[in-house]
Amino acid sequence: MVTPIRRPRTPRRRPAFSLRQLTVSFGVLAIGVTGVGLTLRKAMAAAGAHPGPSVLVGLVVIMALAVLLRRGRHGRAAARTVARGQLPAASVAVAGERLPAPPVEEVAPGPVEDVDAPPPAHVDPRPVELDDYAGMDADAFEEAVAALCERDGCREVQVVGGANDLGADVVAVAPDGRSLVIQCKRYCADNKVGSQDLQRFGGTCFTVHGADVAAVVTTSAFTDPARDYADRCGILCFDHDDLVGWASGTGPAPWE
C-alpha cells in the first residue's frame, strides 16, 4: 500500500498592526464625512433660497451617477464574459465601448442551374401531316396535296377529283404561270402505281385539261413500266420519298 505524501502548506503572513496607518484612515474618513455634511447643509440652504435651479442641479447629478453605475456594470459584465471565453457573435463590449465585428467576406453568386428544367424537345423539321398521308382516305389526301400547292405559291388551286374528274384531282396555276394538273394516288406501301394508271392519266391530262405540268403523286411507289410510260409522255412521277421531300422543303415541288 502506497501512503500519499502531503506537501507542507506555506504559512500565511499576517500584516503587522500599524497605529499610524489606522490614525490616518480615521482622519480621512472624518474629513470626508464632515465635507459631505457641510455640502449637504449648503445644498439645503441653497435649495430653500432657489428651489428651481437646485432641483435641476440635483437631477443632473442623479443622471450622472446613474450613467457611471451603468457603465461600471457593463464593464464588469464584459470582463466576466471575456474571462469565461464567451465572446458575442457580432462584437465585444469592453469598458462600455462596442468593438465592430470583423468584416464578412462576400462570395459572388454563381450561375443558378435549374435542375428541374425539362430537356429541350427534339424538333422534327417535317410537318406533322407527313406521317399521316398513308392513313388518310382518298379525299383527305387530295386536300393535303392541294394545301402543299397553296403553301408553295400556286394560285387558283382547286380539288376537282371525283367520279367524272377525267384523271385530274388537283388543278392550279404554278408560280411561274404554267397550268398544273395532279393526280393523287393514296396507295399502301406494297401497292404500286402501274402503267395502266399512268396511261389513263396520260390520255386526258394534256388533251382534256390542257396541262403544262402533269404529275402523279402517290404515297407508295411506281412500277418500272409505269415510269417508262411517264418518261415518254412527259409526266412527272412523285413517289413517297419525293412527297416527303416536297412536304418538308428538302426536295423540289412537281413544277420545279
124-160 pLDDT per residue, tens: 444 545 557 878 888 999 999 999 999 999 999 999 8
Q: Which cell numbers hold the place of 71?
A: 457603465
DSSP state of 212: S
CATH class entry, domain 131-248:
alpha beta
Can you tell me the distance from the alpha carbon of 167 to that of 152, in angstroms, rounded to the nearest whole number? Answer: 23
Q: Kindly list the domain boundaries of the chain, sorted by start residue.
A: 131-248
Q: What is the mean pLDDT of residues 161-178?
A: 87
Overall pTM surpassing 0.85 (yes/no): no
Cβ atoms of 181 and 235 within 8 Å: the answer is: no
CA distance 21 to 17: 9
DSSP per residue, 82-148: HHHT---SS--EETTEEPPPPPPPP----PPP-TTSPPPPPPPSS-GGGGGTTTS-HHHHHHHHHHH
- Per residue in 41-59, pLDDT (tens digit) is 776 776 677 666 666 766 7
d(CA 247, CA 139): 18
